[in-house]
Amino acid sequence: MTTHPAEPVHDLAHLGHHAILTPTIEETLAYFVDLLGMQVVAVEGDAHYLRAFGDYEAWSLKIIASDRAGLGFVSWRMTSPQALERRVAWLEQNGHGGSWVEPDHGIGPAYEFADPDGHLFRLYYDTTRYEAPDGERPVIPTNFQKYASRGANVRHVDHVNLLARDVRACREFWEQGFGLRTYEIIRLPDDTEAGAWMSSSIQGHELIYTQEKTSGSGRLHHFAYLVDTREEVLRAAEIFADARIYIEAGPSRHTAIQGFYLYTREPGGNRIEVANGGYLVFAPDAEPYVWSAEEWAKKPGWGAPIPPEFHVYGTPVVVD
Amino acid sequence: MTTHPAEPVHDLAHLGHHAILTPTIEETLAYFVDLLGMQVVAVEGDAHYLRAFGDYEAWSLKIIASDRAGLGFVSWRMTSPQALERRVAWLEQNGHGGSWVEPDHGIGPAYEFADPDGHLFRLYYDTTRYEAPDGERPVIPTNFQKYASRGANVRHVDHVNLLARDVRACREFWEQGFGLRTYEIIRLPDDTEAGAWMSSSIQGHELIYTQEKTSGSGRLHHFAYLVDTREEVLRAAEIFADARIYIEAGPSRHTAIQGFYLYTREPGGNRIEVANGGYLVFAPDAEPYVWSAEEWAKKPGWGAPIPPEFHVYGTPVVVD
Amino acid sequence: MTTHPAEPVHDLAHLGHHAILTPTIEETLAYFVDLLGMQVVAVEGDAHYLRAFGDYEAWSLKIIASDRAGLGFVSWRMTSPQALERRVAWLEQNGHGGSWVEPDHGIGPAYEFADPDGHLFRLYYDTTRYEAPDGERPVIPTNFQKYASRGANVRHVDHVNLLARDVRACREFWEQGFGLRTYEIIRLPDDTEAGAWMSSSIQGHELIYTQEKTSGSGRLHHFAYLVDTREEVLRAAEIFADARIYIEAGPSRHTAIQGFYLYTREPGGNRIEVANGGYLVFAPDAEPYVWSAEEWAKKPGWGAPIPPEFHVYGTPVVVD
Amino acid sequence: MTTHPAEPVHDLAHLGHHAILTPTIEETLAYFVDLLGMQVVAVEGDAHYLRAFGDYEAWSLKIIASDRAGLGFVSWRMTSPQALERRVAWLEQNGHGGSWVEPDHGIGPAYEFADPDGHLFRLYYDTTRYEAPDGERPVIPTNFQKYASRGANVRHVDHVNLLARDVRACREFWEQGFGLRTYEIIRLPDDTEAGAWMSSSIQGHELIYTQEKTSGSGRLHHFAYLVDTREEVLRAAEIFADARIYIEAGPSRHTAIQGFYLYTREPGGNRIEVANGGYLVFAPDAEPYVWSAEEWAKKPGWGAPIPPEFHVYGTPVVVD
Question: Each residue of A159-210: pLDDT tens digit?
Answer: 999 999 999 999 999 999 999 999 999 999 999 999 999 999 999 999 999 9
Q: What homologous superfamily is domain B12-311 in, according to CATH?
A: 2,3-Dihydroxybiphenyl 1,2-Dioxygenase, domain 1 (3.10.180.10)
pLDDT at C3 over 70: no
pLDDT of D198: 98
Name the 3-class secondary structure at D170: helix
pLDDT at A64 over 60: yes
Cβ distance D252 to A251 less than 8 Å, yes or no, reads yes
pLDDT of C319: 87
> Residue A3 — very low, low, confident or very high, per pLDDT cuts 50/70/90?
low
Mean pLDDT on C275-297: 96
Mean pLDDT on B161-190: 97
Cis peptide before C23 (omega within 30 of 0): no
Cβ distance B305 to C304 less than 8 Å, yes or no, reads yes
The set of residues, in sequence order, having a beta carbon less than 8 Å from that of C279 and lying 6+ positions away, is: A142, C204, C257, C258
Q: How many beta-carbon pairs below 8 A join chains B and D?
A: 101
pLDDT at B1 over 50: no
Name the 3-class secondary structure at A174: helix
Strands A289-292 and A181-187: parallel
> Residue A1 — very low, low, confident or very high, per pLDDT cuts 50/70/90?
very low
- Of the listed ranges B88-97, C6-15, C206-215, D18-27, the least confidently predicted one is C6-15
Mean pLDDT on A115-137: 98
DSSP bridge pairs for D48: D43, D63
- D interface residues, B as partner, C-beta within 8 Å: 2, 4-5, 7-8, 10, 13-14, 56, 77-83, 139-142, 156, 183-184, 201-203, 228-231, 255, 257-258, 277, 279, 282-284, 286, 289, 295, 300-301
A38 phi, psi to nearest 5 deg? -85, 180
pLDDT at D283 over 50: yes
Neighbours of C247 (CB within 10 A): 17
pLDDT of C2: 54
pLDDT of A5: 72
Complex prediction ipTM = 0.95
Q: How many beta-carbon pairs below 8 A join chains B and C?
A: 41
- With CA atoms as reference, the chain B residue closest to A35 would be B149
Label residue B214 exposed, middle or buried (CB < 10 Å: 0-12, 13-18, 19+).
middle
Amino acid at C30: A
pLDDT of D1: 45
pLDDT at B44 over 60: yes
Report field, pTM of the whole predicted structure over 0.90: yes
> Residue B145 — very low, low, confident or very high, per pLDDT cuts 50/70/90?
very high
pLDDT at A243 over 70: yes
Find, among B268, B274, B276, the residue nearest to B316 by Cα: B268
Strands D70-78 and D120-124: parallel
pLDDT at B309 over 60: yes
d(CA D71, CA B272): 47
d(CA B34, CA B236): 12
Pick from A234, A246, A299 the residue to mutate for testing the D interface (most D CBs within 10 Å).
A234
The Cα-based distances of A44 to A40, A270, C304 in angstroms read 11, 21, 45
The set of residues, in sequence order, having a beta carbon less than 8 Å from that of A284 and lying 6+ positions away, is: A8, C13, C14, C77, C78, C79, C80
pLDDT of D3: 65
pLDDT at B3 over 80: no
pLDDT of D7: 78
CB D68 within 8 A of CB D220: no
Cβ distance D81 to B4 less than 8 Å, yes or no, reads yes
Contact list, D155 vs chain B (CB under 8 Å): none
Q: Please count the CA atoms within 13 angstroms of the CA of A241 that sit on its side-chain side.
A: 27
d(CA D233, CA D223): 15
The Cα-based distances of A251 to A225, A264, A273, D253, D305 in angstroms read 14, 10, 10, 9, 11
The Cα-based distances of C215 to C74, C212, C218, C271, C320 in angstroms read 22, 8, 10, 19, 7
Alpha helices (H) in C35-188, listed in sequence order: 81-93, 167-178
Mean pLDDT on A116-120: 98
pLDDT of C66: 98
pLDDT of B2: 55
- Of the listed ranges A97-111, B3-17, C80-94, C228-242, the least confidently predicted one is B3-17
Q: Name which CATH class applies to D12-134+152-311.
A: alpha beta
pLDDT at B5 over 90: no
DSSP A89-112: HHHHHTT---EEE--BTTB--EEE
Q: For B142, which DSSP code?
A: T
Contact list, C56 vs chain A (CB under 8 Å): 282-283, 286
The residue ranges of every structural domain in chain B are 12-311
Name the percent of chain C lying above pLDDT 90.
96
Tell me the average pLDDT of chain C: 96
Contact list, B260 vs chain C (CB under 8 Å): 234
The set of residues, in sequence order, having a beta carbon less than 8 Å from that of D203 and lying 6+ positions away, is: B202, D159, D278, D280, D281
Name the percent of chain D lying above pLDDT 90.
96
**Which runs of E-coded beta strand occur in chain B?**
12-15, 18-22, 39-44, 47-51, 61-65, 70-78, 99-101, 110-114, 120-124, 156-164, 181-187, 193-199, 207-211, 220-226, 247-253, 259-265, 271-277, 289-292
Reported as a single tens digit per residue, the pLDDT across B211-239 is 999 999 999 999 999 999 999 999 999 99
pLDDT of B4: 73
Reported as a single tens digit per residue, the pLDDT across D201-234 is 999 999 999 999 999 999 999 999 999 999 999 9
pLDDT of D289: 98
CB D252 within 8 A of CB D303: yes
Alpha helices (H) in D99-244, listed in sequence order: 167-178, 230-242
Amino acid at C166: D
- With CA atoms as reference, the chain D residue closest to B254 would be D140
DSSP D22-42: ES-HHHHHHIIIIIS--EEEE
If you count them, how many residues does chain A have? 320
